[in-house]
């Protein structure tokens, strides 16, 4: 067995609580026997496997295996923080700027899916009444055909305005979640990682499914609003995030930013927290009403707004390996791009 870091061993043990050995082996690109030895306590990592080596090694293994594909999810301290709004805008802007126009997909795993609605494509009534085959997560096959075209043309929707952006709609009715397992979601992700340059996921709330998806995400947006309850929620999430080793891959995003970072810092100080936000997303008033009327997302119809410019900046943060040609070097609209110095005091 090749050398496996201490952090990877611990992560495998945690994943074993919700995943089978084969799924874990696929996630880390190791054999099922290696996973089994770790779970049986037959493998001890080398003493010189440092903590930093462990985390870096996990990221390198995942990125190499999927040919630099990225898997991006988002979390927040409660609902209504704007995760879906940011993820849909991120998906669209990424598809517009990715080198060579490689394909991108957004997977709607939310309990009450809204990705299609937020993109102005179709709502639940259209999905429920459509007589044609409309792909959803419940219709993903157990075994794919040999061609990637099946995913492109049959199992996902192609965005009407952005040819290289694909959408996998969520359930039509929430009762369908009773028939879906964590392993099914991981199968969808793994199939998509094989053919898409970027996989963006709107997360489920079911704890087992949530943790399964979180464990294989390459980057995790932590979306919070500029208010006290939201920041209090981040403090409450801290032990959970550390337990699942998520803090190393967090990208903190402040949504509905009001232009005064000092107010946010004061609220963070109440909980002895310091967060270096990587993106400060301003509120775009009436964004959803705009989409309902124009049937076009602001990323397409309002590209010069501060909202879209900051989403473009977030694309660079999420995908630093992309070589994106622009008129001038993009910087954060609010000139407040910081590294995650100390997430929690």
List the strands of the sheet with 157-158, edge to edge.
157-158, 165-168, 104-108, 198-202, 70-75, 219-225, 250-257, 279-282
In this prediction, what percent of the chain has a pLDDT beyond 90? Answer: 31
User: Is 50 exceeded by the pLDDT of residue 211?
Assistant: yes
Predicted local confidence at residue 272, as pLDDT: 81
Q: Choose among 130, 121, 107, 125: nearest CA to 180.
A: 107
Question: What is the structure's pLDDT at 126?
Answer: 52
| pTM of the predicted structure, to 2 decimals | 0.72
Query: How much is the pLDDT for 72?
Result: 95
Instruction: Give the 3-state secondary structure percentages of the chain, helix then strand then coil, rounded to 5.
Output: 45, 10, 40
pLDDT over threshold 80, residue 7: no
Which of the four pLDDT bands, split at 50, 70 and 90, describes residue 47? low
Average pLDDT over the chain, rounded to an integer = 78
Distances (CA, A) of 115 to 13, 92, 103, 120: 33, 11, 17, 9
Q: Which two tokens stand for residue 276?
A: 């270096």
- Rounded distance, CA 339 to CA 127, Å? 42
Model pLDDT, residue 96: 94
Q: Which residues contact 171 (CB under 8 A, 6 or more apart)?
A: 113, 136, 137, 138, 177, 180
> Among 66-70, 195-199, 287-291, 313-317, whose mean pLDDT is lowest?
66-70
pLDDT (mean) for 231-247: 85
Per mean pLDDT, which range of 77-81, 182-186, 203-207 is the poorest? 77-81
Calculate the dihedral angle through the C-alpha atoms of 124, 126, 132, 133, rounding to the nearest 10 degrees.
-20
Q: Is the pLDDT of residue 229 over 80?
A: yes
Provide the pLDDT for residue 167.
Answer: 94
Tell me what pLDDT residue 49 has.
Answer: 41
pLDDT confidence of 57, banded at 50, 70, 90? very low
Judge residue 47's burial from the number of C-beta atoms within 10 Å of its C-beta, 0-12 exposed, 13-18 middle, 19 or more buried.
exposed
Judge whether residue 334 has pLDDT over 50: no
Q: Are 45 and 5 in contact (CB under 8 A)?
A: yes
Res 70: pLDDT:
85
pLDDT (mean) for 147-175 = 86
Q: Is the pLDDT of residue 312 over 90?
A: yes
pLDDT, one tens digit per residue, over 74-128 is: 999 988 889 999 999 999 999 999 988 899 999 999 999 999 888 877 655 555 5
The mean pLDDT of 281-309, rounded to a whole number, is 81
The vertex-219 CA angle with 47 and 71, nearest 5°, equals: 110
User: Which pLDDT value is given to residue 337?
Assistant: 32
């Amino acid at each position: 067995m090749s050398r496996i870091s201490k952090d990877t061993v611990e992560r495998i043990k945690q994943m074993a609580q919700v995943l089978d050995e084969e799924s874990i082996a696929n996630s880390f690109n190791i054999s099922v026997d290696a996973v089994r030895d770790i779970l049986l306590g037959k493998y001890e990592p080398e003493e010189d496997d440092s903590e930093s080596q462990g985390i870096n090694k996990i990221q390198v293994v995942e990125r190499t295996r999927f040919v630099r594909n990225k898997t991006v999810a988002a979390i927040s301290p409660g609902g209504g923080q704007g995760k879906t709004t940011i993820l849909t805008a991120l998906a669209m802007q990424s598809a517009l700027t990715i080198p060579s126009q490689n394909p991108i997909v957004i997977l709607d795993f939310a309990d009450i899916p809204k990705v299609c609605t937020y993109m102005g494509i179709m709502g639940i009534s259209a999905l429920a009444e459509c007589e044609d085959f409309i792909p959803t997560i419940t219709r993903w096959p157990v075994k794919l055909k040999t061609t990637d075209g099946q995913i492109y043309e049959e199992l996902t929707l192609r965005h009407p305005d952005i040819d290289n952006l694909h959408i996998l709609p969520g359930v039509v009715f929430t009762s369908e979640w009773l028939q879906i397992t964590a392993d099914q979601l991981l199968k969808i992700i793994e199939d998509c990682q094989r053919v898409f340059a970027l996989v963006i996921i709107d997360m489920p709330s079911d704890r087992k499914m949530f943790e399964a998806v979180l464990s294989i995400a390459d980057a995790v947006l932590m979306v919070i609003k500029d208010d006290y309850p939201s920041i209090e929620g981040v403090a409450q999430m801290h032990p959970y995030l550390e337990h699942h080793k998520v803090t190393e891959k967090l990208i903190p995003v402040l949504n509905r930013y009001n232009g005064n970072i000092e107010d946010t810092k004061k609220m963070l100080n109440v909980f002895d927290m310091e967060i270096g936000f990587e993106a400060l997303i301003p509120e775009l008033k009436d964004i959803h009403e705009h989409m309902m009327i124009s049937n076009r997302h602001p990323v397409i119809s309002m590209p010069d707004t501060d909202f879209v410019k900051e989403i473009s900046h977030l694309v660079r943060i999420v995908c630093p390996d992309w070589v994106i040609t622009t008129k001038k070097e993009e910087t954060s609209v609010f000139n407040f791009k910081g590294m995650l110095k100390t997430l929690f005091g």
